[in-house]
Structure 1
Amino acid sequence: MNDFFPITNPVVVFALVAVIILLAPIVMGRMRMPGMIGLLLAGAILGPNALGVLERDQSFVLFGTVGLLYIMFTAALEIDLAILKRYSVHSVVFGLVTFAIPQGLGMLVAYYVLGFAWPAAILLASMFASHTLLTYPIVSRLGLTRNQAVTTAVGGTIVTDTLALLVLAVIAGMTRGEVDESFAWQLGLSLTLYVAAILIGLPLLARWFFRRVARDGVAEFVFVLATVFGCAALSHVAGSEPIVGAFLGGLALNRLIPHNSTLMNRIQFTGDALFIPFFLLSVGMLLDLSVFAGGARAWLVAICMLATVLVAKWLAAETTRPLLGYSLDQARVVFGLSVPQAAATLAATIVGFEIGLFDDTVVNGAIVMILVTCFWAPIVVDRHGRNLVQAEAGLAAEAPVAKQRILVACSTESSARPLIDLAILMRDPAQAQPVYALNVVEDGDDAVRGVAAAERMLDALVPQLSAAGVPAQPVTRIDLNTAAGILRARRELHARKVIVGWRKRSIGTEFFFGSMVEQLLQDGQYLLIASRLREPLNTCKRIVIALPPHVENEDGFIDGMRTLGHLARQLGVGMLILCETAHEAGVQRRLKALRPAIEFKLQPIAAWSGVLRALSELARKDQLMVFVGVRPGGYAWRTSLGTLPERVSRLSPDLNMLVFYLPEMNEPDDLA
């Protein structure tokens, strides 16, 4: 077999890896086990220390490293920053606990049981303190990324990994004789500048790029890859590790890449299909059972290391129950997220071996520790994560939400694309409803030709929805006029939200509210959203909402504000709500009752007549201005709303603006 293995032909290697990536999750799924365990097993069986079919060459190391950084990057990208901010103390507390317990227990075991000197014992303990978010793809697949316990574990990762890597830097510097009086100052200054450059500079660069350069998905995707891996590559200059740079890069881009956007879908697809499976295969290839034939010392070191990391991480996760008020399943998910060892563990092992603090037994023990924790953690997260999903589903069943169907009126391809982006961000993926792209052809002699042109235009828009993983349903209607066609299609499709665009140029009162909008308002059973978008939505920093008096008493108020809350979460921005002082308490009471909860800040104004002055002070192109109103004749109807958006637009021509016309009544929920 040595004549055939390991396989060196790159085409055959990639074909075999593709088959493994395809079959491993399928086989594990039949056994009710996470798919990543199949990839780890495949790497161990086919790797150089078993059958020798595949060699852990430079390509596996390269793609494996990229996969590890991808996990850290996507974990930071999917964090709900509002939840992280709300529970930031939880993340810091857990980060300190999951560092202190393994570090302290590890030092005692290494010094008193294994007989290491204190420098080696401290470095060995730092390996137990760090962890890798290997199982994060599981919680992402289960839809638990916004769970409080998951956010705490992810936020705590950067705390404990940074502290563990600082221990590594200090011990390595002491052993090499590099530590002097200026060492701590240089390290602290370089890390501070590094973190500030990423968290402050990268968002500014990304906003400029998305606004001025990127107009297609390929450019956006390549820009994200280049900046994130650039941040990771510069980590060594700051005395840190690439995983920290990738995580910080994800945090910096979090607000600029909406969770349900086309760009996010491309990022997740590339990682799940290629980079992360390569990382799992490369980790599996590290297993070498032959090292235990060397004597009892190898067994003692490996067993002590494995037992210490499991006990220490379990104790750290268990402290979240009394300390942070988590349930049993939440604590187990935290344990499953924080116990896998990989990146920082390998870094400390290699450095410790090179400077002479560790011998072969520690290297082999670290590999065993990595393999066992990487096999065990996915089982724990999958089992208890499913329990959390069932618990959250039970809570959701207590407060059912009407079916969401979004209809987008498309006149031309260029004007429809920002409307499609808005529909993608407003859509709730949990309901699995398609987005309907509608084009109305006015009846006449050229109707047949118009239908053919409309179908070609809609076919060009469908890939935009498909690229974001959103089911698309193109619809063409022939009618007497555009408004009549939209209303008929809405009733036939039972659409709950209709998005229309404003013409760039018009005259008089038709600049924003022409006869078409007036006709659309005659049907009061849906939410009408009139949109004028000048800048990419992902570059906005805040949503400013103008609420006229008494609008909080309208039947459709909850539906409209829930939609805006979902949009704000997708964009990762806050909501500033302007309302009359006399209605502040009523608005706050109704918004506080929303589920899921939304983050908002109220800015009261003395009277509605002063709303233009308040809006003029906030009108900047990085704001999304939303005017909430009702149909004419409604309780909260104001004649000033018809001219208010036009007057604000004159102050800031590049301002993104939406007008929400709240529904007057709801259709039955059982409509298909």
Structure 2
Amino acid sequence: MTDHLPINNPVLVFAIVATLILLAPIVMGRWRLPGMIGLLLAGAILGPNALGVLARDQSFVLFGTVGLLYIMFTAALEIDMAVLKRYRLHSVAFGLLTFSIPIGIGLFVARVLLGFDWPAAILLASTFSSHTLLTYPIASRLGITRNQAVTTAVGGTIITDTLALLVLAVIASSTRGEVDDLFWYRLAFSLAVYVGAILIGLPIVARWFFRNVAHDGVAQFVFVLATVFAIAALSHVAGSEPIVGAFLAGLAFNRLIPHHGTLMNRIQFTGEALFIPFFLLSVGMLLDLGIFLGGLRAWLVAIAMVVTILVTKWLAAEATRPVLGYSRDQARLVFGLSLPQAAATLAAVMVGYDLGLFDDTVVNGAILTILVSCVVAPVMVDRHGRALALAAAAEPAEVAVAPQRIVVACSTTAAARPLLELAVLIRDPAQQQPVFPLTVVEESAHSAADVAQAERTLAAVVGQLSAAEVPAQPVTRIAFNTATGILHARRELRGSEVVIGWRGRATPHELFFGSTVEQLLRDRHYTLVLARLTEPLNTCRRILLALPPHAEREEGFAAALAIVKRLAQQLGAPVTLFAQQAGDERLHAAMQRIKPVAELRPAPLARWADVMATLRAQHADGDLVVVYGVRPGGLAAEAVGAALPHRVAEQLHAAGLLVIYAAEPHPQDEPVVDTGEAAEPGGAPIRWA
């Protein structure tokens, strides 16, 4: 039987791996354990050092390396930059804690207890300070990635890993005799150029590519994938490691890939379904229990390394409670995120082995440390992350609002795509409400043919929502004119927002008989969003919000501002507020309390009449202008505000523009009854005669 092992048939190997990826979460779920533990154990049992069913060949090494870089990339990609900026000191503090405590205690263990000389002791101690965000996907699935504890752990990772890898570079160079007077200057210069090129140059190149070249999801995905791994491959030139390059690439792409967009969904799906499981299997295959039969020294080194990493990472995480004021669950979550050892640890140990600083016992001790940490950490993140998620779900909402049901008016497939992208970005995923693509067919003798064409249009746009995992309920409406059809459908669907495309100018027919927008504004009980999108939304740099006087006193202001802040959060773009009242600290504090979190930058105006001149002066390439629309008779109604959308459209003709007319809720609204017909994407169209 052993003549047939390990299995070399690539088709059979992939079938076995796919089966393991499928069964591991199911089997581990019966014991309430994360599925990644099952993959680690499967790799250890089926690997070359146990049953020998699977060989850790180049395919496992390749996909495993890709999986590790994917973890670092997606962790940086999902960071809420507004939260990170607010808690940046937390990240620095934890990064220094989780570096200094393990390396300090680890140096004592390596030098005194294990008897290593100074270069080997320092290098071994540095391996205890680094960690890999292996358990980040668990936090992502629990929906707690915006918790400040998660953001702190992710931000601290790049600090401690960079410091640990610098120690590795210095020890390796000093052992080879390469450290001279110019060494530190060369290292600092290469790292500065490398980091600057990624964080400054990459966003410029990527924004140009998304605007001018990538017109479909496949091209965007391949561009991101190629860029990330090219940056990771160049890390050695700068004296760093690929995991640092992948993390920096994620930070650079953060503002260009919306967190709930189609591209993000494709990136996460590919990693979690293929690359990350391969990495877990490849790590499990490294364990060789046979070395422990070689004597007491192997046991002593392995136990010392495992205990040191567990104790020091626990102490660093516990220090966040008195230092940063974190709760017990938050500290345990930080511990689970910062415990796993993988790439940096293995890289440092293998370099030490090649230089003659370490022997086989240290290599196997590192592998056992990786396995133990990768088994303990998922349990901690799952348990305490779930507790935080449940506690957040139990918190009462600050303001009771009706369910968000977005209706998107679709005329053609090409015109509908940017509007649906906007709807996905302003949608609150926590409410799990569908998006309603709506096509209105005007009553005529050819209505039947027009309805068929409308349904083909809706079928095409529903695929866009399905790719982003957003439930859709397509609607076809027959009416005498477009505005009447939209209003009737909105009432019957109990839509909270209606998104329509807008040219920014009126036709001669609309000037005489009244525009569609004027007819839509007759219904005051929903939020109307007019969109003139001239560039892809993910290339937006800033949001310029023009807020007329007294707008904050209107009933629908909070819901309208929540739309802007949600859009800003998804795009990672700051909101610059142009208003007379922008300098009011109480107003600023009140606006900050409206969720979600976004960066608000007040830009007070001396007079509201100067808003157009200020927008012209401040507008730059990549800015999205958002105007708070003035409804007739509202508190914010005045001449300048009413004419502002048309003036912006005419004078900033190349700018992306949104006009948001806030709803005026009325107490007679009945609760929305969800029929459940839109539970899955791509439902059958609804038609009213």
Q: Which digits, 9 at most, give the CA deviation of each residue in 1:611-646, with x for residues without a partner?
A: 111111123331110110232121212233343222
Query: Alpha carbons of 1:181 and 1:589: their partners in 2 closer, same or farther (altered >3 Å)?
Result: closer
Once residues 240 and 400 of structure 2 are traced to their aligned partners in structure 1, the CA distance between those partners, rounded to angstroms, is: 47
What does 1:486-565 correspond to in 2, within 5 Å?
Answer: 486-503=486-503, 506-507=506-507, 510=510, 515-565=515-565
1:647 is matched with which residue?
A: 647
Q: Give deviations 1:421-441, integer Å, cap 9, x for gaps.
A: 000100111111111100000
Give yes or no for the alignment of 1:309 onto 2:309: yes
The equivalent of 2:126 in structure 1 is: 126
| Partner in structure 1 of residue 35 of structure 2 | 35
Q: Could you tell me whether the CA contact under 8 Å between 1:455 and 1:476 is conserved in 2? A: yes
Corresponding residue for residue 273 of structure 1? 273
Partners of 2:237 and 2:317 in 1: CA distance? 33
AA in 2 matched with 1:535: E
Q: Given the superposition, is the C-alpha separation of residues 614 and 48 from structure 1 closer, same or farther in structure 2, using an over 3 Å criterion?
A: same
Distance 2:105 2:508 in 1: 75
Instruction: Point out the more displaced range, 645-654 or 351-360.
Output: 645-654
The answer to whether the Cα contact below 8 Å between 2:410 and 2:437 also exists between their aligned partners in 1 is yes
Describe how 1:232-631 pairs up with structure 2 within 5 A.
Answer: 232-397=232-397, 399-503=399-503, 506-507=506-507, 510=510, 515-581=515-581, 584=584, 587-631=587-631
Name the SS for the 2:254 alignment partner: helix
Unmatched segments (≥5 aa) in structure 1: none
Residue aligning to 1:145: 145
SS at match of 2:243: helix
Distance 1:510 1:300 in 2: 85
Q: Once the 2 structures are TM-superposed, how far is the Cα of residue 581 of structure 1 from its aligned partner?
A: 4.2
Return closer, same or farther for 1:325/1:313 CA change in 2, 3 Å cut-off.
Answer: same
For residues 521-558 of structure 1, the C-alpha deviation after alignment (integer angstroms, 9 at most, x for no partner) is 11111100000000011111111111111111100000
Check conservation: 1:313, 1:339, Cα contact below 8 A: yes
| CA distances 1:382-413 after superposition (whole Å, capped 9, x unpaired) | 00001100111122446544311100000111
Q: Secondary structure at the match of 1:643?
A: helix
Matches within 5 A, 1:50-129: 50-129=50-129
Shift of 1:49: 1.1
Structure 2 CA distance for partners of 1:108 and 1:582, relative to 1, 3 Å: closer
State the match for 2:135 in structure 1: 135
Q: Compute the displacement of 1:415 (Å).
A: 0.8
Change (3 A) 1:172 1:509: farther
Deviations 1:439-496 (A, max 9, x none): 0001110000000000001101111111111111111011111111111111111110
**1:552–1:586 contact (8 Å) kept in structure 2:** no
* More off after superposition, 644-653 vs 417-426: 644-653
Other structure's SS at 1:3 match: helix
The 3 A distance-change label for structure 1 pair 71 and 509 is: farther
Deviations 1:294-351 (A, max 9, x none): 0000000000000011110000001000000000000000000111100000100110
Separation in 2, partners of 1:129, 1:308: 10
Cα offset, 1:601, TM superposition: 1.6
Distance 2:345 2:338 in 1: 13
Aligned partners of 2:515, 2:56: CA distance in 1, in Å?
68
Paired letter, 1:73: F
Deviation of residue 258 (structure 1)? 0.5
Q: Residues 568 and 574 of structure 2 are in contact (CA less than 8 Å); yes or no, is this contact kept in structure 1?
A: yes
Q: Deviations over 1:107-126 (max 9, x none)?
A: 10011100100110000001
Does the CA-based 8 Å contact 1:620-1:652 persist in structure 2?
Answer: no
2: distance between equivalents of 1:170 and 1:47?
34
The alignment of Structure 1 onto Structure 2 pairs a total of residues equal to: 671
Displacement after TM superposition at 1:28 (Å): 1.1
Q: CA deviation at 1:284?
A: 0.8
Take 1:233 and 1:61, find their aligned partners in 2: how far apart are those partners? 15
Tell me the amino acid that sits aligned with residue 174 of structure 2: M
Opposite residue 635 of structure 1, the aligned amino acid is L
Alpha-carbon distance in structure 1 between the residues aligned to 2:585 and 2:296: 71
Kindly indicate whether the alpha-carbon contact (under 8 Å) linking 2:582 and 2:603 is maintained by their aligned counterparts in 1. no
* Distance in 2 (alpha carbons) for counterparts of 1:546 and 1:204: 27
Please tell me whether the aligned partners of residues 132 and 340 of structure 1 are also in contact (alpha carbons under 8 angstroms).
yes
Q: Indicate how the Cα distance of structure 1 residues 650 and 151 shifts in structure 2: closer, same or farther if over 3 A, else same.
A: same
Q: Go from structure 1 to structure 2 and tell me whether the alpha carbon gap of 1:458 and 1:648 turns closer, same or farther (over 3 Å shift).
A: same
Q: For residue 333 of structure 2, what is the amino acid of its counterpart? A: V
Letter in 2 for 1:484: T
Give the aligned residue type for 2:428: D
SS of the residue corresponding to residue 255 of structure 1 reads coil
Aligned partner of residue 367 in structure 1, secondary structure: helix
User: 3-state DSSP class of the match of 2:477?
Assistant: strand
Task: Tell me the TM-score normalised to structure 2 length.
Answer: 0.95
Structure 1 residue 599, shift from structure 2 partner: 2.5
| Distance (whole Å) between structure 2 residues aligned to residue 647 and residue 164 of structure 1 | 56
Distance in 2, Cα, partners of 1:422 & 1:593: 23
Gap change, CA 1:99 and 1:488, over 3 Å in 2: same
User: Is the 8 Å Cα contact of residues 629 and 637 (structure 1) preserved in structure 2?
Assistant: no
Q: Which residue of 2 aligns with 1:170?
A: 170
* Structure 1 residue 594: Cα displacement: 1.8
- After superposition, the Cα gap between the structure-2 partners of 1:642 and 1:504, relative to the gap in structure 1 and judged at 3 Å, is closer
Cα gap change, 1:585/1:398 in structure 2, threshold over 3 Å: closer, same or farther? Answer: closer
Structure 2 CA distance for partners of 1:105 and 1:213, relative to 1, 3 Å: same
CA distance in 1, matches of 2:36, 2:264: 22
The one-letter amino acid of 1:651's match is Q
Could you say which residue in structure 1 is the equivalent of 2:206? 206
CA distance in 1, matches of 2:333, 2:527: 39
Q: Aligned equivalents of 1:497 and 1:398: distance in 2?
A: 20
Cα 1:234–1:640 change in 2 (3 A) is same
What is the aligned-residue RMSD (CA, Å)? 1.6
CA shift, 1:665, in A, is 1.0
Give the AA of the match of 1:133.
L
Deviations 1:202-254 (A, max 9, x none): 00000100111111000000000011111100000000000000000000010
Amino acid at match of 2:604: P
Structure 1 stretch displaced more, 58-67 or 619-628: 619-628
Partner amino acid, structure 2, of 1:318 = E
Q: Once the 2 structures are TM-superposed, how far is the Cα of residue 582 of structure 1 from its aligned partner?
A: 8.8
Change (3 A) 1:196 1:325: same
2:64 and 2:286 mapped to 1: Cα distance?
Answer: 12
Normalised by the size of structure 1, how large is the TM-score?
0.98
Alpha-carbon distance between aligned partners in 2 of 1:514 and 1:531, rounded to the nearest angstrom: 19
SS in 2 for 1:127: helix
SS for the counterpart of 2:474 is strand
User: Does the 8 A contact of 1:549 with 1:583 survive in 2?
Assistant: no
Report the Cα offset of residue 652 of structure 1. 2.5
The question of whether the paired residues in 1 share the 8 Å contact of 2:342 and 2:370 is answered with yes
Equivalence map 1:12-51=2 (5 Å): 12-51=12-51
The answer to which of 159-168 and 594-603 deviates more is 594-603
Are the equivalent residues in 1 in contact too, given 2:77–2:250 (CA < 8 A)?
Answer: yes
Structure 1 counterpart of 2:486, one-letter code: I
**1:671, distance to aligned residue in structure 2 (A):** 3.9
SS of 2:156 mapped into structure 1:
helix
Q: Which secondary structure does the structure 1 equivalent of 2:231 belong to?
A: helix
Shift of 1:668: 4.0
3-state secondary structure, aligned to 2:654? coil
